Amino acid sequence: MTLDTLQIGASARIIKVSGQGALRKRLLDMGLTPGTNVKLYKKAPMGDPVEIIIRGYHLTLRLSEAKNIFVEEAIA
């Protein structure tokens, strides 16, 4: 599954980051690297973008960008 399909409040672990060029580099630079845990914290009023917590800070990104992040949901 990808990050954009995560439920609000759900946590997951990143397994792969796809995409190309500037977008992918930015995702990686912001700390969205494979093996990192991520939590979907909130969605904007119109459902997009989303707010996630990663490496202890709050980051916002669009669903179209989140689609590039492949995750597996953490077993609670």
Write out the residues near other proteins by the rule CB under 8 A. 17, 21-31, 33-36, 42, 44-49, 51, 55-62, 65
d(CA 27, CA 30): 5
Minimum distance from CB of 53 to other proteins (Å)?
10
User: Is residue 68 helix, strand or coil?
Assistant: coil
Q: CB nearer to other proteins: give 28 or 74.
A: 28
Q: How far apart, in whole angstroms, are the C-alpha atoms of residue 76 and residue 58?
A: 22
State both tokens at 31.
Answer: 């700390």
Min dist CB 24 to other proteins, Å, is 7
Nearer to other proteins, 12 or 32 (CB): 32
